[in-house]
Amino acid sequence: MSYQKYADIIIDISHENLDKTYQYAIPEEFSTQATIGSLVIVPFGRGNRKINGYIVNIATEPKLDINKIKPLEQVVEDAPVIESHLIYLAYWMKETFGGTINDSLKTVMPVKKAVKRKEEKSIRLLVDQKQANDLYYEYQRKNNKARVRLLEALMKKAVLDYSDVIDKLKVSRSTIQGLEKLGVIETIIKEIDRNPIKHEIKENRINELNLEQKYIADKIKNDYNSGIRSTYLIHGITGSGKTEVYMDIIEAVIAKKQQVIVLIPEIALTYQTVLRFLGRFGKRISIMNSRMSQGERYDQFLRAKNGEIDIMIGPRSALFTPFQNLGLIIIDEEHENSYKSEITPKYHAVPVAIKRAQLVNASVILGSATPSLESYHKAMAGEYQLFRLTKRAKDAATPKVWIIDLREELKNKNRSIFSYKLKELINDRLAKNEQIMLFLNRRGYAGFVSCRSCGHVMKCPHCDISLTSHNNGKIVCHYCAYEERLPSLCPACKSRYIAAFGTGTQKVEEYVRKEFPQARTLRMDMDTTRNKGDHEKILSAFSKHQADILVGTQMIVKGHDFPKVTLVGIIAADLSLYAGDFRASERTFQLLCQAAGRAGRDAIPGEVVIQTYHPEHYSIVTAARGDYEEFFRQEMLYRGLMKYPPVAHILLVLATSKEESKAAESAYYIGEAIKEFIGDDNEEMQIIGPAPANLSKANDIYRQVIYLKHDNYNHLVEIKNYLEGFYQNSELLKGCNLQFDFNPMSSY
Ligand code: ADP
Ligand code: ZN
Ligand code: ZN
């Protein structure tokens, strides 16, 4: 018997078994019905027990001896579709972003592993005190010590915690069961509320939408109610009331008994934001975050699947919430880097959301004050419907922005990190008892450590990056956490002139204390937010005005409302311009706009000081004016000239190995394989590399990269597929690991 097609079938969709698929043949009669994601019935095991499974892959060649492959028995039509959709989505992600089907399934399917019910167990005495007393003496006579201990404790306190009985009283489960059978005690199990939201819910006053907001909300609701599904981009300046618009539309969707996923970058998923949604929608909401255990997240997925909630709010992974009747996906701050996965499959949440929405006939709303070039480009091309919110909702004036040329300051004998203008305005705000935010768009403390005599730079022995000094006298690798003591002599030339350079948030804080000793200062960066809750603690102290100045990295510019902040100072705006990747200007523009958006959120108008060595750079000039369109125009010229996304597409191939020579060799073979594959068609294909990555070694693994640029994404997908096959079949690449990243957002 021969077949045309074979299906890989997954039997149990649980995390542990994802790697285990079984191949079945697809009989001719099912060849059109059987597609990826289909629910099928197959004969399983020796007894050919009939069980359910899902098709995760289809091939034209069998993996085993053809006589050992059984045909599948039936394709179930109109099956419960949520699993089918998610499996199909996983398959699409594998195709579009690379990696194996297992990588994708693990990303998409909820983890079943830790389904611990959350419950409180306790033990209660069932007999009265007199009977207990009698039993107590009886057990003592019989020398039944465990029973004696338990009864003694229960006579003092009628209800005991189950785990205390086991752990502290050292009473075994079998002893407990014995007494239960005799009717002396009982075990009480109370299920705990699985809702992760513990705040008390206060109902919000619903803001009446202003005209701009109402126009957008009405348009989208009209579409929705008349069955039109689409992708929308809301470009609205900070504070223009995007969240209010989302909530208005969400209401219309849940009124139709459909569900909504709201993605918010984790860093902006603050108490304030969550409370707003809670106040509006109450208990039918759940949230997810990375601090939750896998079991807790699985629990939330289960609640969604069972229809206990209508709205899921969370970061990237919330995209896969198994709602049965999804109507809308919202991605707020859609330009954020955190929407791109850093592990394989290296997917971006926006195209995945759009794909998922297409599969189930839902809509997608993207929102941002500074849309990504990709999204705005698509909106211009008519792929997304574009809406604008141009005014702050609360009538606050947009802030006044000063651009300060740091070269001029130096000429005027100002050697401090604060320009004359910034100093003047800080003093002014301190005198008026208003608040100030000082922002440094680079992570960290004092920068790298180098020798002023010979130029030697202290590097991590495991990674190809410089070590960063901390004020505890240690130097630390931010990549692998390696640390050592700051040497007193240069290891290369033995001079004493080895020291930390560059300005970090810690240094800024020191200067603030020196220059403005009367001010109360808080600092927020990686260093001060190590522990759970640190983040909230600092922000809440600042919002209660327990400090006058908040110094920080980009963490401080996201998603917070501080009505008394009337001055924002950006210490060195150029720092992010030289990040060395093609998105550096875009990121600088976004950060500056966001930082500016923090000034004057309420009745008092705000001011912003941008200090820079490049006052003429377009990303700084346009950010200062809040002119997104002009920034977009200029940046698109650059992207077009260089063939960078969104004008063309990039496929990054990363080859890694424990051996330096192996990594280089493999990258060479891959490069040659690519050239052979594209043949003469390489006019339109740009190949850059192979070459060592910027981060050429990380955790003792050597890294080589090849960049491919082409106008057509699908053509790059073909190359990826070809290389995946080459990797599986060629001995040449043994001992090397291969990864793909389309249109990368992080540097390699
Ligand atoms: P965005 O999400 O665009 O940054 P928000 O939705 O957070 O903006 O709105 C900014 C502030 O304005 C919030 O405090 C919000 O409560 C308020 N706000 C938004 N829309 C209105 C409105 N129509 N009437 C009154 N206040 C509003
Ligand atoms: Zn030296
Ligand atoms: Zn390291």
Residue pLDDT, tens place only, 483-534: 899 898 999 889 888 877 655 788 889 899 999 999 999 998 777 777 767 8
Residues above pLDDT 70, as percent of the chain: 91
Condensed to tens digits (0 to 9), the pLDDT of residues 154-210 reads 888 878 888 888 888 888 888 898 898 888 898 887 755 556 665 555 666 678 999
Q: Distance, CA 204 to ligand 1 centroid (Å)?
A: 13
Ligand closest to 235 (CA) is: 1
- Which one has a higher pLDDT value, 134 or 11? 134
Q: Which atom of ligand 1 is nearest to the CA of 236?
A: 3
User: What pLDDT shows up at residue 742?
Assistant: 97
Given the DSSP bridges, would you call strands 185-191 and 119-125 parallel, antiparallel or unpaired? antiparallel
Give the mutation target among 394, 398, 593 for probing the ligand 1 site: most ligand atoms within 8 A of CB: 394
SS (H, E, C) 48-103: CEEEEEEEEEEECCCCCCHHHCCECCEEECCCCHHHHHHHHHHHHHHHHHCCCHHH
Give the mutation target among 244, 313, 333, 602 for probing the ligand 1 site: most ligand atoms within 8 A of CB: 244
Q: Which atom of ligand 1 is nearest to the CA of 238?
A: 4
Ligand 1 atom 10: residue of nearest CA: 239
Burial (CB count within 10 angstroms: exposed 0-12, middle 13-18, buried 19+), residue 222: exposed
Report the 10 Å Cβ neighbour count for 519.
17
Ligand 1 atom 11: residue of nearest CA: 239
Both tokens of 654, joined, read 């990363």
CA nearest to 439, candidates 336, 541, 622, 565: 565
* Single-letter code of the amino acid located at 111: V
State the DSSP H helix or E strand holding residue 275, giving kind and residue range, or none if neither: helix 271-281
Condensed to tens digits (0 to 9), the pLDDT of residues 377-424 reads 999 999 999 999 998 887 667 789 999 998 888 788 888 889 999 999
What is the rounded distance in angstroms from the CA atom of residue 400 to the CA atom of residue 567? 10
pTM for this prediction: 0.82
**pLDDT band, very low/low/confident/very high, at 469 (cuts 50, 70, 90):** confident
Ligand closest to 212 (CA) is: 1
Mean pLDDT computed over every residue of the chain: 87
Phi, psi of 23 (to 5 degrees): -95, 135
Q: Are 327 and 255 in contact (CB under 8 A)?
A: no
Ligand 1 atom 6: residue of nearest CA: 241
Ligand closest to 248 (CA) is: 1
Q: Distance, CA 584 to ligand 1 centroid (Å)?
A: 30
CA nearest to 745, candidates 579, 583, 600: 583
Ligand closest to 459 (CA) is: 3
CA nearest to 425, candidates 442, 400, 408, 397: 400
Ligand 1 atom 23: residue of nearest CA: 209
Looking up tokens 């003469």 gives 680
Q: Are 326 and 359 in contact (CB under 8 A)?
A: no
Q: Distance, CA 394 to ligand 1 centroid (Å)?
A: 7
Domains in the chain, ordered, with CATH? 5-108 (3.40.1440.60), 118-192 (no CATH), 211-393 (3.40.50.300), 396-446+502-640 (3.40.50.300), 649-742 (3.30.70.600)
Burial (CB count within 10 angstroms: exposed 0-12, middle 13-18, buried 19+), residue 641: exposed
Q: Distance, CA 476 to ligand 3 centroid (Å)?
A: 8
Condensed to tens digits (0 to 9), the pLDDT of residues 623-678 reads 999 999 999 999 999 999 888 999 999 999 999 999 999 999 999 999 999 999 98
Ligand 1 pocket, Cβ-based, cut-off 6 angstroms: 207-210, 213, 236, 238-244, 393-394, 561
- Which one has a higher pLDDT value, 105 or 224? 224
Condensed to tens digits (0 to 9), the pLDDT of residues 303-334 reads 898 899 999 999 999 999 999 999 999 999 99
What is the rounded distance in angstroms from the CA atom of residue 532 to the CA atom of residue 530? 7
CA dihedral 171, 177, 181, 182 (to 10 degrees): 0
**pLDDT band, very low/low/confident/very high, at 262 (cuts 50, 70, 90):** very high
Q: Distance, CA 284 to ligand 3 centroid (Å)?
A: 45
